[in-house]
A and B are shown apart, each in its own frame.
Chain A
Amino acid sequence: MLEVQGIVAGYGRIPVLHEVSLTAEAGQMVTLVGANGAGKSTLLKVIAGVLPPWSGRVLLEGEDVTAVPAHRRVGRGIVLVPEGRMLFGAMSVDENLSLGAYLRTGAEAKRRVQADRERVFELFPILAKRRSQPAGTLSGGEQQMLAVGRALMSDPTVLLLDEPSLGLAPKVISEIFAVLDRLREDGLTMVLVEQDARLALKHAEHGYVMRTGTVVLDGASSDLLANDDVRLIYLGAWHGGE
Chain B
Amino acid sequence: METSELLQLVIAGLKNGSIYALLALGFTIVYAATNVINFAQGEFYMLGGMFAVFAFTRFGLPLVLAVPVAVLVVAGIGVLFERLAIRPRKDAEPMALIIITVGGSLVFASLARHAFGSDALPLPEFTPGPSIPFAGAAIERQALWIWGIVLVTVAGLTFLYGKTRLGRAMRACMQNREAARLMGIDTARVVMISFGLAAALGALAGVAVTPLTSTRFDIGAGIAVKGFAAAILGGLGSPLAAVAGGLLLGLIEQAVIPFSSALKDVVALAVLLAVLFLRPQGLFRRSRREKV
Instruction: Tell me the A residues contacting B by CB distance below 8 Å.
Output: 48, 50, 70-72, 74-75, 79-80, 82, 84, 86-91, 95, 98-100, 102-103, 105, 136-140, 143, 150, 154
Contacts and interface: CB of A to CB of B under 8 A. Distances in A.
A138 B179 CA distance: 18
B168 A98 contact: yes
B179 A50 contact: no
Contacts, number: 70
Given A74-B182, A75-B184, A102-B172, 19 more contacts: A50-B181, A70-B181, A70-B182, A71-B184, A71-B186, A71-B187, A74-B183, A74-B184, A79-B182, A80-B182, A86-B179, A88-B175, A88-B179, A99-B168, A100-B183, A136-B290, A136-B291, A137-B291, A140-B292
Q: Which one of B176, B181, B290 has the highest number of Cβ atoms from chain A below 10 Å of its Cβ?
A: B181
Nearest to B177: A86
Interface residues of B, number: 20
A102 B185 contact: yes
A102 B169 contact: yes
A91 B292 CA distance: 15
Contacts of B165: 102, 105
A154 B290 contact: no
Interface string B158-192: 00000001001101100110111111111100000
Nearest to A142: B291
A140 B290 CA distance: 11
Contacts of A154: 183-184
A71 B291 contact: no
Given A71-B187, A136-B290, A143-B291, A90 B175 contact: yes
Interface in B246-278: none
21 contacts: A48-B182, A70-B181, A71-B185, A72-B184, A74-B182, A74-B184, A79-B182, A80-B182, A82-B179, A87-B176, A87-B179, A88-B171, A88-B175, A88-B176, A91-B172, A95-B168, A99-B168, A99-B183, A102-B183, A136-B291, A139-B291
Contact of B168 (A48, A102, A140): A102
A48 B182 CA distance: 8
A79 B181 CA distance: 10
Residue of A50, A72, A79, A136 most packed against chain B (CB within 10 A) = A136
Contact of A86 (B169, B182, B184, B186): B182
A168 to B, nearest CB: 12
B178 A82 contact: yes
Contacts of B180: 99
Contacts of A136: 290-291
Contacts of A82: 178-179, 182
Contacts of A72: 184
A105 B165 CA distance: 10
Given A98-B168, A140-B291, A143-B291, A103 B184 contact: yes
A88 B169 CA distance: 11
Contact of B171 (A50, A91, A143, A150): A91
Contacts of B171: 88, 91
Contacts of B172: 88, 91, 99, 102
Contacts of B184: 71-72, 74-75, 102-103, 154
A7 B184 CA distance: 23
Contacts of B182: 48, 50, 70, 74, 79-80, 82, 86
A80 B176 CA distance: 15
Contacts of B186: 71
B283 to A, nearest CB: 18
B44 to A, nearest CB: 28
Contacts of B181: 50, 70-71
Interface string B136-170: 00000000000000000000000000000100110
Contacts of A140: 291-292
Pick the most buried of B169, B180, B183: most chain A CB atoms within 10 A of its CB. Answer: B183
Contacts of A88: 171-172, 175-176, 179
Most A CB atoms within 10 A — which of B168, B184, B291?
Answer: B184
Contacts of A50: 178, 181-182
Contacts of B168: 95, 98-99, 102
The 8 closest A-B pairs by CB, nearest first: A74-B184, A86-B179, A103-B184, A136-B290, A89-B290, A102-B183, A88-B175, A99-B183
Contacts of A100: 183
A23 B182 CA distance: 22
B176 A86 contact: yes
A138 B291 contact: yes
A86 B173 CA distance: 12
Contacts of B185: 71, 99, 102
A70 B178 CA distance: 10
